[in-house]
Structure 1
Amino acid sequence: MTQIKIKLIKSVIDRPERQKRTVKALGLGKIGSETEVENTPQVAGMVAKVQHLLEVTEL
């Protein structure tokens, strides 16, 4: 599978609890934090749910 880099670009303050937990499950904390993960169907679904908060690049 391919790797993707995910960067949190917007705050999770005033977001539903479900979105906050999804961002945390992706390994992101503060604004500007980045992580590299394998692009599995599960991760792709999580990214799709909070795509308005993230910047995603394929490696």
Structure 2
Amino acid sequence: MVKVKLIRSKIGCNPNQRKTLVAMGLRKIRQERSFEDNLVIRGMISKVAHLVEVTKS
């Protein structure tokens, strides 16, 4: 499991990065979600790595 926390605003990001955040369910700053650790989630995290904080749980 990995925890993903949105730490920076999505203002100024390109539309694909915004859609990735919405698909991950991250809409507000400091919002956290837990996901199974797989390649799909890792790919989504790499798209928005500068906006999120990832921790293993």
**Superposition TM-score, scaled by structure 1 size:** 0.93
Match in the other structure for 2:11: 13
Q: Which amino acid aligns with 1:47?
A: I
In 1: Cα distance, 2:36 partner to 2:25 partner: 12
Runs of 4+ in 1 over 4 A off after TM superposition: none
The percent identity for this pair of structures is: 42
Unaligned runs of 5+ in 1: none
**Superposition TM-score, scaled by structure 2 size:** 0.96
Query: For this pair of structures, how many residues does the alignment match?
Result: 57
Unaligned runs of 5+ in 2: none
